[in-house]
Amino acid sequence: MRFKSFATLILISAFLSACKQTALGYNDMLIGSQVRISELMDTIFNENTSVEKITELRKEIVNAANLGLSESLNSEAFDETSEFKDQAVKYYSFVGSYFSDESLDSIFYLLNSDQRIEKLDSGRLFIVQKDLNTLSKFEDELKEAQIKFSETHNLNLAE
């Protein structure tokens, strides 16, 4: 009888340990969609990317942002602080909202070339630059929260 109880206790402990998320897994879950978004943005801002391809990539960015937001919102804070999670929520919320704007397709296309950028209205260019600076701010804040999290949990994150 004691053996059965002990074996059951061991199995339950092993199961709970396997279910508990590691710091690295938590980091990867919060950052995974951000990495994908960065890759898609690199392609959007390539001079050779067509406006049709930009449309496709922008929609993929919205999908990745929605996935990242959902995963972030549905996760519990890893430890006593939720700063990393909170920054991920802010980042994905902004990205999903901003890139939902279909008018960005033609604007990004114009931004990709020195010749085409001259066709962009200076007022609209100012607004887009301001929005991209806001995106950069959210990205920097997420990166700072990730670094703080990695230092707290002794993670060695590769660039």
DSSP 60-105: HHHHHHHHHHHHHHHSPPSSS--HHHHHHHHHHHHHHHHTT-TTHH
Question: Which residues constitute the domain of residue 40?
Answer: 22-152
Instruction: Look at residue 60 and tell me if it is in a domain.
Output: yes
Instruction: Look at residue 121 and tell me if it is in a domain.
Output: yes
**Chain segment 22-37, per-residue pLDDT in tens:** 899 999 999 999 999 9
Instruction: Look at residue 11 and tell me if it is in a domain.
Output: no
Contact present, 84 and 146 (Cβ < 8 Å): yes
Instruction: Look at residue 8 and tell me if it is in a domain.
Output: no
Instruction: Look at residue 10 and tell me if it is in a domain.
Output: no
pTM, 2 dp: 0.84
In this prediction, residue 38 carries a pLDDT of 96
Q: How many domains does the chain have?
A: 1
Contact present, 91 and 156 (Cβ < 8 Å): no
Instruction: Look at residue 73 and tell me if it is in a domain.
Output: yes
Instruction: Look at residue 100 and tell me if it is in a domain.
Output: yes
**Chain segment 64-108, per-residue pLDDT in tens:** 999 999 999 999 888 878 999 999 999 999 999 999 999 999 999
Instruction: Look at residue 13 and tell me if it is in a domain.
Output: no
- Residues 138, 141, 142, CA angle at the centre, nearest 5°? 85
